[in-house]
Amino acid sequence: MDEAALQRLRSAFDPERFRQQGHDLVDRLADYLGAALTRQAGPVLPWVDPEGQLGNTPSISEDAGPEVPEIVGDLLHRAFHLHDPRTLGHQDGLPVPAASLAGLLISTLNNDPSVYETGPAVVPIEVRLLRWMCDELGFPGDAGGVLTGGGSLGNLTALLAARQAKVGRDSWTEGNRPGEALCVLVSEQAHYCVARAVKIMGWGDDGFVKVPVTDDFRMDVAALPGALARAREAGRRPIAVVASACTTATGTFDPLPEIADFCSEHDLWMHVDGAHGASTVLSPQYRSRVRGIERADSVVWDCHKMMMTPAVLTGVLFRNARHSYDTFRQEATYLFEERPDEEWYNPGNRTVECTRSGMAVLLYTALRVHGIGLFRDYVTRCFDVARSLSDLIDASPDFELAVEPDANIVCFRYRADPGIDSDRLQSRLRQKLVSGGSFYLTEAELDGNQFLRCTAQNPFTGEQDLCDLLDHLRAEASALEERSGTTNASGLAQEG
């Protein structure tokens, strides 16, 4: 290597350069945070179509280009402003700054906690964090789990554990036997990643048997015996029930105690997809929503949704920690010893991933800095904001709720005039608000009808923001209806 190349490497790792750019980065992010929280960062989403945004993104060059501050400034200018109180869309958590700073720490250290030797400071933190999560769920002292990158991997990991525990043999080593048709029972409102996990496991479309839901979108426990019988009559062997706490579309919690009773009666594994709603255990006011979660065999808990942690950080928690060791039995003598159940300090033998980030440090740091009370306040506040929006909708004759909210998710629709395509109207209303940058919200199809959908993730969203949201929707609806003609449904479909 010539001297010029070596000098480029030295310059890239120069501590003083890092210090100067780090100070600048924190200053810029602090200014941005202050602006976004007070709605002064510009439109919630500075809308540019995907092709245009790609055209605005510089290509990568062989030669050195701009310094970090210039790249940061450009990204902040074009970013989606999650911290804006009028962001009411996806289940993207609001990262607390202490966790964000911890992210810089783990990115710089880049210690891999898959094995203790490469993550000696991080592995004990992960163990402490998982123990705390199990305690909050109400799991016994021999509970345990692992951290993984997202709810989809988490649900897959839990279902692999269910298979290993329930088939009566080492399915990890032997695989799926010919003629062995396994399946799980899931709500019609279950997240799509459950079906994805089942298909990854090789069970196909018939590997998940859908259980009908009630009018308020909860799993209909009365329909579980019928679903079990249908599966068996079709030659399938059910091994688990997947409950939602809560559903993604409506934020509705399945009746966990009754599902636990059913699983106990029929010797089925009870898995709770608590990706969004497991954090409810922290709120004294709303904890009853997840009563019965302590009886689950496994729970998935996404901390990047309702724990103010940057994405992604998911706990896969087992009421009996042994199941986390049984899921993956694999020899890798260059990493692990011979007894994985005794190697609590090598989490990599219990996850799909090999190399992982020190993600536990993000939430652990925030909990240590602020205490658990801050997180209890956060969950309660977000649920309260959703209840406030629900109350405003109930009091507004021109809007209707899909269902009373259980969590911090609210689905509702504007009542269209006769002759107007109501489903099309809801979608156009969302497009108008999002492209205009005044608010960000999503939509959901429920029972064949289109609804607007808000998720209250920002604790600083106030009642005035919610009133303004409804007023903006009214104004846009009036303009669209006037343009289309109140008796011409096709006009709205052609507009825009």
Per-domain residue ranges for the chain?
Answer: 109-369, 373-494
Query: How long a stretch of residues is the chain?
Result: 496
- Judged by phi (left if over 0) then psi (alpha if -120 to 50, else beta), residue 110 lies in left
The model's pLDDT over 282-324, given as tens digits with 9 standing for 90+, comes to 999 999 999 999 999 999 999 999 999 999 999 999 999 999 9
Q: Residue 327: which of 340, 312, 337 has the closest Cα? A: 340
d(CA 238, CA 182): 6
Q: What is the pLDDT of residues 332-379, one digit of tens each?
A: 443 445 555 568 899 988 899 989 999 999 999 999 999 999 999 999
Domain 109-369 top-level CATH class: alpha beta
74: enclosing H helix or E strand: helix 68-78
* Maximum Cα interatomic distance, the chain, rounded to a whole number of Å: 77
**pLDDT the model gives residue 169:** 86
Q: Which CATH architecture has domain 373-494?
A: Alpha-Beta Complex (3.90)
- What integer pLDDT is reported at residue 487 of this predicted model? 42
C-alpha span between 208 and 24 (Å, rounded) = 51
Q: Are 369 and 362 in contact (CB under 8 A)?
A: no
CB burial string 178-194: b at 16+ within 10 A, e below: eeebbbbbbbebbbebb
Those residues of the chain that have pLDDT short of 70 are 329-342, 485-496
DSSP code for 353: -
* CA gap 270, 139 in Å, rounded: 14
SS3 110: coil
Calpha distance 246→409 (Å, rounded): 10
Residue 309 CA to residue 312 CA, distance in Å, equals 8
For position 332, what pLDDT does the model report? 45
Q: What is the pLDDT of residue 483?
A: 77
Asked whether the CA dihedral 90, 196, 312, 108 is positive or negative, the reply is negative
Instruction: Return the structure tokens found at 218.
Output: 């909860």
- For CA atoms 238, 134, 291, 153, give the dihedral sign: negative
CA dihedral 319, 136, 114, 112 (to 10 degrees): 170
Backbone angles phi, psi at 364, to 5 degrees: -60, -45
